[in-house]
Structure 1
Amino acid sequence: MQRTSYQASNCTIAATLQVLGEKWTLLIIRESFFGATRFEQFMTVLGCPRNLLSERLGKLVDEGILERSEYREPGSRARDEYRLTATGKELMPILMAFMQWGDRHRGPADGPPMLVQHVACGAPLELVLTCTEGHVVSSPDDGVIIPGPGALPAVPA
């Protein structure tokens, strides 16, 4: 498929990177999967500047990835906590893909620093590509990129 800048203008990868394509954003989402919900929890683990964390949390709320709710500990002022929405939980395979790639190419020689475990049986989870007919795709060469129903028409040369 010949690509043009016009065809690439509706690229969903680029649109996703507008939301997720920044290190702190992905690390906030990672920590959300680990159970962090409060600003101070994110601050403690991530160590990013407060204003940056506040901005990224707000963006994730605006994008529907996190939802903000108020909590109040006895004797303290009301504060916000942040929880993954259903949309946010759909990001788990993306984080797992980063993790599995990192385990293979950037991880310690003695094995992965963490595993994602299947709750029902305890076995590690792994990502596997399949087609809609259920065939396992073992190599990127087993797939081909074609225009989808939302593809824009080619720009005449």
Structure 2
Amino acid sequence: MQRKSFGTMECAIARSLERVGEWWSILILRDAFYGVTRFDEFQQSLGVAPTMLTKRLGVLVEAGLLERRRYQERPPRYEYLLTDRGRDFRPVLLALLEWGNRHFAPDGTSVEIRDARSGHLVETAFVDPSTGATVPLEDIRVSPGPAASERVRKRIERHPARFTEEERP
């Protein structure tokens, strides 16, 4: 059965999932942030089948998150390096790590997110780029962007996404 493609959908979340929505892809990106670059290193770290790893690396290269660069001529061998687009995925990984630590670490956290200078634990946050001020999650709203279709505008109008505690079902 052919999986539906999200690559051309209007929703940025759906388009993003087209590139990174398969779990091996996210784990490959995680390892790339930890400094893993070579096929055998990814395979050893992840325990993934070579055919699956080849496929997922290809998807990440095609999506522009990784760059494939030859590091050896004979036999030809390649390394996979994060691109600017791939490095921009870091906050997503950190938010996923924070969420997982909060909800799926019954024995405690195995990896924590800390400020490199102070050593203090930090949390993901939204920041107003014009003021630099942190915006509380309860004040966050989604709104139609300049390229939103009428369909998206109406959906947001009917079901505005708010992230406040009191609005939970």
Normalization by structure 2: what TM-score? 0.76
Q: CA RMSD in A?
A: 2.2
Shift of 1:127: 1.3
SS in 2 for 1:154: helix
d(CA) in 2 for partners of 1:79, 1:117: 35
Q: List per-residue Cα deviations over 1:69-111 (Å, max 9, x = no partner).
A: 11128xx5220110101111111100000000000000144x3
d(CA) in 2 for partners of 1:60, 1:154: 30
d(CA) in 2 for partners of 1:125, 1:69: 34
SS in 2 for 1:126: coil
Unpaired segments of 5 or more residues in structure 1? 1-8
Q: Which has the higher contact order (CA 8 A, sep 6+)?
A: 1
1:49 matched to 2:34: no
Percent identity between matched residues is 38
Counterpart for residue 35 of structure 1: 35
Shift of 1:130: 2.3
Counterpart for residue 90 of structure 1: 88
1:102-117, aligned counterparts within 5 Å? 102-109=100-107, 111-117=108-114
Deviation larger for 126-135 or 51-60: 126-135
1:1-157, aligned counterparts within 5 Å? 9-72=9-72, 77-109=75-107, 111-132=108-129, 133-139=131-137, 141-154=138-151
Shift of 1:136: 2.3
Give, as a single letter, the amino acid of the residue that structure 2 aligns with 1:86: D
Shift of 1:54: 0.1
Shift of 1:13: 0.6
Unpaired segments of 5 or more residues in structure 2? 1-8, 155-169
SS in 2 for 1:71: strand
SS in 1 for 2:151: coil
d(CA) in 1 for partners of 2:134, 2:115: 20
Deviation larger for 116-125 or 94-103: 116-125
Q: List per-residue Cα deviations over 1:108-140 (Å, max 9, x = no partner).
A: 44x32112444444444431112334342333x
